[in-house]
Structure 1
Amino acid sequence: MSEDERDRNEGLTDAFERSGMSQGDLARRVTARARRFGLRHVNPDASSVRRWLQGTKPRDPLPRLIADVFSERFGHRVTTYDLGFGSPPDLDRPLTYSPSFTETVESVTELGRADMDRRKFLAAAPFAAAAGVGPSRDWLLTALDQEPKPGPRVRLEDVTEVRNMFARFQEIDVMQGGGSGRLLLTKYMNAHVYPLLRRTHAEDVRRALCGAAAEQTYLLGWMAFDSGEHGTAQRYLIQALRLAEESEDVRLGAHVLAGMADQTTVLGNPAEGRKIAQAGRQGLRGSDSPACLADLWALEARALAALGDSVGTARAIASSEREFARVDRDAEPEWARFIDGAYLHGEYATAFRDLGQAAPCAEHARRSIGYARTQNRARRGAMSHAILTVSHLDGGDLESAHSTGLRTLELARQVKSSRCTDAVRDVQRRLIPFGRHPLVADFNERARSVVAA
């Protein structure tokens, strides 16, 4: 075997041979793509391609541009890693809210491949606290400029199939936790949904498909959030917001912003979480979605409670309850199905917990538990039982706290959700002031398997 053969880039060679392109053709396509992004200094030729095939690694941004060309050629995402360049996924790319639809498709498909093939690498991606502010602003400016367009709802076979799958995956998430169906959803998106975005469509079909893809991409982000992979979740949510803009569905965009607001507040930046929730509400001024508005007000209440604003929290909760009273389930989209009593009262209880107001916290936690029990929703039940446990501890009632704490553990074992695990850890932290009481020791012993899992 010659030295050239030994150093040859097998990944790139395989893709090149399958593509049917000549070396000059590949060089021209890479140059054209570089021009699309304003990169005038990128000018590969046939000799450049020959060197790449022989094992020379091209300098940035060429690996990404080459991967984009092959992705376009094959109709599915090809990464720089697939092409033998040894480059990890570009984790900053999905943090960008690109004005280019083509770039958005590349970002979200690359993210999907990384989530499926290189999950450990992606799981280490950091959450960027300021990254959600720009996308929420850009989406809001576009949403306020849009005028509702009349016409029948698009019901094309491919889009309908994607929307039907969304309902099934959302059910898995709600009933079993984000860790249960996420890998299956990731595979489905990479194999069936993201490739559809690359095809040529009539404009109405493209909008409908972008809306369906946005719903599923949001759900991937939410599942990652529920699994504690916040960097991954943030990247999915930003790209879901961009796809929602392409679909011209303002309600869906506001729903994505609700998820972004929730995550930002949970991760310790409630001031920004509140701004994102407010952007979602402002974007809905020309549309009507009581369920989404109820959610956004609840998340603003959560942010205000974290900021210590008890008056603002009470007002936001009252606004959320007022909007929820207007909800007509038949008029709401599928993704709004679980913005209901179990969820909203759980959010209200969390807000009052953060304010240290035990009585209203317990009241809303019990209402959430009642709804969740009726629907057999273990994740929501576990989280609301944990909140009720905290309210008992705040009132000094260790015996009641132990009883509800054990129910928290029982429900948490039934789902794959890091949020449930975090709720158990929170109870453990709040038990510390009670010292070595036998009930504390018993709870910690029983919680060990949940926390370890």
Structure 2
Amino acid sequence: MSGEFGQRVRAALRERRLSIRAASRTMNYDHAFLSRVLAGKQLPSIELAESLERLLNANGEIIEAAARLLDGDGTSSTPAPTLADFLPEGDPLGLLTVRSPRRVGVGEVTDLQKRVHGLRLADDVLAGGDLIGPALRELRSTVRLYRENTHTQAVGRALLVQIGELAQIAGWIASDAGRHEEAERIYRLGLSAVRQAEDLTLAGNLAGSLAYQMSNTGRTEQGLTLAQAALHDLTNEAPGKARALYWDRVAWAHTQAGGTENARAAMRALGEASEALADDTDADEPPAYLYWVDAGELQVMESRVYTELRRPLRAVSLLRDVLSGYDATHTREMALYLSWLAIALADANEPEEAAAVAERVIRIAADVASERTAERVRVVLARLQEYDDVPEVAVLLADHAA
């Protein structure tokens, strides 16, 4: 079906004698991103389809093709999956009586935990467009394992926890792919599961992940309210890493909400996150889903907050420190962090260096099937338009048509 979308757009471009590069310039989209979409390597967003429709005046055909692709309603052998494809109607967590159920034991839960963590590790090096199908298939399999078989109360609770963990990473993957409504449905499924399992720490991770998406997609007040609720519901027994992560999300939500008071609250929240991590002396091993939370990640959030608050001198120093030792295999995060560095350099009146960093962002993002990186490319290029009289910036803008 991705082929149908690309074919329709290419045919319309030929009719109007437009190249992909010319179309991307006109619509203010990155040429590499549009090329990946038309080649079927990345899903289009509805926003892109609407821009193409306006440019090409295709009588609604492009939007219809994009909708079929994103909804997974076509006849292709590889339609874009949605949560509805993988879960039963009605209550997806309701237990079923089947003819030949089997007994699920601790060993199967252990195997499942390993697969879930493997998916998290894959997300470190692969983007949402690459992982959404496998993530949803794993979620379907786990829900069926819980619903259609027998298990002890303890094993049932463990399965609900794994559904929650899967929903968190699958929601994150869907959000990275630009499928925000889908991600919200996945997060809410996970919240339902972990509330039944009475795992408040994991519930906070799911709620905080949804809050983060809301803050990044214009629902800033809802994002702030939900991030604060996730933090409020933590118990005193919650690991220090969990408290640090949830304070970080509160800091980001305040930053996105804007205003002087929110800026102050964001700085206070960053301080609380650092203190929480410093106090992380728990004898028990924290949950596996917190493996990535460390001082370096808190530094990343701090630098992003400083960038958004237009405090570039502090932001540039922090980001350079982070990037100097960052794992280059984590290409999506590398592109994202470099994008904030480019913005901070522009704010610091260093347009030549900002343009050089922006070129790196674009080069890396071209090979990453992530809507988040594509959006950051657009943000960076838009920011640099203020310096279009600087030769290095002018060349960049001409090449990538922001």
Secondary structure at 1:103 match in 2? coil
Question: Corresponding residue for 1:367?
Answer: 321
| Percent identity of equivalent pairs | 22
For 1:435, give the aligned amino acid.
D
Question: Does residue 355 in structure 1 map to residue 309 in structure 2?
Answer: yes
Question: Corresponding residue for 1:195?
Answer: 144
Question: Does residue 243 in structure 1 map to residue 197 in structure 2?
Answer: no
RCO higher in structure (CA 8 A, sep ≥6): 2
Question: Corresponding residue for 1:219?
Answer: 169
Q: 1:426 aligns with which of 362, 379, 383?
A: 379
> Cα distance 1:412–1:238, how it changes in 2: closer, same or farther (>3 A)?
same
1:350: Cα distance to partner? Answer: 2.0
Secondary structure at 2:279 match in 1? coil
Measured in 2, the distance between the counterparts of 1:447 and 1:346 equals 27
> Cα distance 1:444–1:162, how it changes in 2: closer, same or farther (>3 A)?
farther
Unaligned runs of 5+ in 2: 1-73, 75-81, 96-103
1:352: Cα distance to partner? Answer: 1.6
Deviation track 1:322-362 (CA, whole Å, cap 9, x = no partner) reads: 11223369721111112234433222222222211112222
Measured in 2, the distance between the counterparts of 1:380 and 1:204 equals 37
Question: Corresponding residue for 2:46?
Answer: none
Measured in 2, the distance between the counterparts of 1:437 and 1:252 equals 49
The number of aligned residues is 308
Question: Corresponding residue for 2:275?
Answer: 322
Q: 1:441 aligns with which of 394, 397, 401?
A: 394
Deviation track 1:155-193 (CA, whole Å, cap 9, x = no partner) reads: 811211111001111111121222222212222332x31
1:413: Cα distance to partner? Answer: 3.3
> Conserved in 2, the CA contact under 8 Å of 1:293 and 1:320?
yes
> Conserved in 2, the CA contact under 8 Å of 1:173 and 1:180?
no
Secondary structure at 2:91 match in 1? helix
Secondary structure at 2:233 match in 1? helix
Q: TM-score if structure 1 supplies the norm length?
A: 0.62
Measured in 2, the distance between the counterparts of 1:416 and 1:342 equals 25
> Conserved in 2, the CA contact under 8 Å of 1:342 and 1:370?
no
Question: Corresponding residue for 1:310?
Answer: 263
More off after superposition, 330-339 vs 296-305: 330-339
For 1:263, give the aligned amino acid.
Q
Secondary structure at 2:254 match in 1? helix
Question: Does residue 338 in structure 1 map to residue 288 in structure 2?
Answer: no
For 1:196, give the aligned amino acid.
L
Unaligned runs of 5+ in 1: 1-80, 82-88, 95-101, 108-153
Question: Does residue 261 in structure 1 map to residue 211 in structure 2?
Answer: yes
For 2:93, give the aligned amino acid.
V
* Higher Cα radius of gyration: 1
Measured in 1, the distance between the counterparts of 2:296 and 2:355 equals 22
Secondary structure at 2:161 match in 1? helix
Correspondence list, 1:62-211, <5 A: 103-105=91-93, 156-190=106-140, 192-199=141-148, 200-211=150-161
Measured in 1, the distance between the counterparts of 2:108 and 2:325 equals 35
Measured in 1, the distance between the counterparts of 2:270 and 2:154 equals 38
Measured in 2, the distance between the counterparts of 1:189 and 1:228 equals 19
Measured in 2, the distance between the counterparts of 1:446 and 1:294 equals 41
Deviation track 1:89-136 (CA, whole Å, cap 9, x = no partner) reads: 997xx9xxxxxxx824269xxxxxxxxxxxxxxxxxxxxxxxxxxxxx
For 1:295, give the aligned amino acid.
L
More off after superposition, 203-212 vs 279-288: 279-288
